[in-house]
Structure 1
Amino acid sequence: MPPPPGHAVPVKQQLSDANLSLLGTHWRHSGPGERLKLQIDQTAPQSFALSTQDLVTRLLKSPTTVPFVIELKNELAIDMDCSAFLDCILQTVYRFGSKRTIVFTSFNPALCTALAVKQDTYPIFFLIDIPTTNKSVPGDVRSASLQNAMHFARPFGIAGVVAACDPFVLSSTLLAKVNERGLVFWKRPENMSDEYDKSAAKQSEAVLDFLVVNHR
């Protein structure tokens, strides 16, 4: 698929310009100036079609100043279906995304690499759950630790890693290694239902590129 007109902007510049430090829960826009996080799940053709149409609706109705963080999920093991899934999403974003800042995320490393091969316009972040890895791909070593995630991300052009693990915040050395590799690190809450609290302010003082909180 040919990329849209224009050139890719460095990921840190994109994210800094967009001020993506606060994210709403998926399919939620709290008001002017807030950020919208989307989740697209391909579990069946009909649900995929509905999700894509919903994405079109959100892109058209939301102000272009609202950045989108799109989490992709694909539980189908067929590579062709995965490719078609991503092609459809990219076509939708290219057509209706305008000049909006858009970031892709996924717990599935195969989706991350495929998306990186297909385009270099939008940043891609690899999501990992440590230590439970409930949402990560079961048995995939790339999701087993932050170190493995870093080794996976850089060679494939993945912009960074998003993890829910408080010990990262306590280790400036560990986070510095992430930055040394040219990766961006997002810290998200252990439970996305948790509301913003005072601990978020303390965490933001650590060497974090972005802090994801549930904003209500």
Structure 2
Amino acid sequence: METGKSNGIITLPIMSRNARHTLGKVRVDFIIIKPILGYSCDMRSSFCKYWKPRTPLDVGHRGAGNSTTTAKMAKIRENTVASLKSAANHGAAFVEFDVHLSKDHVPVIYHDLTCCISMKKKVNAASVELFEIPVKDLSYDQLQLLKLAHVTALKLQDHSDPNDDECSVSDNQPFPSLHSVLEAVPEDVGFNIEIKWICQEKSGKWDGNLSTYFDMNIFLDIILKTLLENAGGRRIVFSSFDADICTMVRLKQNRYPILFLTQGQSEIYPELMDLRSRSTPFAVSFAQFENILGINVHTEDLLRNPRYIQEAKSKGLVIFCWGDDTNDPENRKLMREYGIDGLIYDRIYDWNPEQPNIFKVEQMERLKKELPAEMLRNCLCPPVNDYMCNGANCTSDDIHMEINGVANHHPA
């Protein structure tokens, strides 16, 4: 066992009595979970297993949608502040995005584990060559300054990026920090944060060809502390394809829930090594055993086996769905009828007009019940603002709102 390592495999020989003959080997997978360094957990707020029953939630995939690898790509660069805001403006209850760390341990928003650097050749300055490099090997400043491209550009003869012209605008910059996204996106919009980690395929191949990564405890502590200290009252749901990540997040803190991501049986993606990631029933059992909120299943598997939805819910689990199949409105209709809790899909702006999300609507309904009708009639403030009333006719009272409703109501 490697000293100080948070997770891995120990293999020990089974020896015969004379200690000279090896009869076999024992292989043990292990994880070591440590408390978050410098952070004290308490019970002031705990939502690890809390989920309010409501109509299925719309979740903006990578914000406004996949802009790199799907058949119909989003018109806004994925995983940027602009993309997240666009989904929020069109009624997304949550926006989904991926978080991992730069070389200098800054949590950044980006989907893939690798990206491409544009490099000019010495002989022909006009010729550009792309070099694939792990995101973890670039500092945050380098990610902001270098001319970068998505790995799909390696397959194209034309290496120009259609989003280059937009990158000068800060909200369209790739690799925004998690901290900047927390500040830029309205707090009433929930975050479904996929914690990015290397996955191994059944064939033995590793995601991004990365067989080694950060120490899991250090990696999670940085991301979790950023959120615990800066997220305020925002709704946050984590997710991850790595089962150990899910276990660690559940035990390291008690404020935010996590969903285990699984692709189930898929004809689109290669099988993963971990059986829990390629079998929805095993994913359900794992989520139950680790007492996490629920699972996030590939829609392809749910369309084939819709009974999985009610099976998961009967065991007290929340279930989301993801994948290109969810982009089809007919499939979304089916998922809603089957009782799904959340739908992650692209280009929410194609289906919804600009509108407040369900959380804002619920807040306004609570206001109508809690506040006198005369006060609501006199209020000149927009009905879908943050409900911090500053209108001239509202000076008789100060109304202070928390993320979940009326916190207090007292004379000015």
Q: TM-score, normalised by structure 1?
A: 0.82
Task: Name the structure 2 match of 1:148.
Answer: 282
Alignment partner of 1:212 out of 344, 347, 352: 344
C-alpha distance 160-134 of structure 1, shift in aligned 2 (>3 A) = same
Paired position in structure 1 for 2:193: 70
Instruction: Say if 1:180 and 1:20 are closer, same or farther in 2 by CA, change over 3 A.
Output: closer
1:130 paired residue among 264, 279, 289: 264
Q: Which residue of 2 aligns with 1:6?
A: 44
What are the within-5 Å matches in structure 2 for residues 25-44 of structure 1? 25-26=61-62, 27=79, 28-29=83-84, 30=86, 31-32=88-89, 33-34=91-92, 35-42=94-101
Pairwise mapping of residues 92-171 of structure 1 onto structure 2 (< 5 A)?
A: 92-132=226-266, 134=269, 138-166=272-300, 168-169=302-303, 171=305
Report which stretch shifted further, 148-157 or 95-104.
148-157
1:45 matched to 2:168? The reply is no
Deviation per CA, 1:113-166: give whole Å up to 9, x if none.
111110121110011112238487x31111121111111111212211111134
Count, aligned residues: 208
User: 1:77 and 1:114 mapped to 2: Cα distance?
Assistant: 20
Q: Give distance in 1, aligned partners of 2:344 and 2:252.
A: 27
Instruction: Give the residue type in structure 2 aligned to 1:38.
Output: F
Structure 1 residues 195 and 79, CA, compared in 2 at 3 Å: closer, same or farther? Answer: closer
- Aligned-pair Cα RMSD in Å: 2.8
Higher helix share: 1
SS of structure 2 residue aligned to 1:23: strand
Letter in 2 for 1:205: E
Taking the aligned partners of 1:135 and 1:51, their CA distance within structure 2 comes to 27
Return closer, same or farther for 1:57/1:148 CA change in 2, 3 Å cut-off.
same
Q: Distance in 1 between matches of 2:178 and 2:42?
A: 18
Q: Secondary structure at the match of 1:74?
A: coil
Contact in 2 for aligned 1:162/1:186 (Cα 8 Å): yes
Which of 138-147 and 88-97 deviates more? Answer: 138-147
Note if contact 1:4-1:94 (Cα within 8 Å) is conserved in structure 2: no
Q: d(CA) in 1 for partners of 2:263 and 2:182?
A: 29
The answer to whether the 8 Å contact 1:170/1:206 transfers is: no
Could you tell me which residue of structure 2 aligns to residue 199 of structure 1?
331
Q: Structure 1: which 5+ residue stretches go unaligned?
A: none
Mark the structure with the bigger radius of gyration.
Answer: 2
Query: Cα–Cα, structure 1 residues 4 and 45, in superposed 2: closer, same or farther, change >3 Å?
Result: farther
User: SS of the residue aligned with 1:71?
Assistant: strand
Q: 2:59 aligns with which of 23, 30, 41?
A: 23
Q: Normalising by the residue count of structure 2, what TM-score does the alignment of the two structures yield?
A: 0.45
Cα 1:150–1:195, aligned 2, differ >3 Å: closer, same or farther? closer
Identity of aligned residues (%): 24
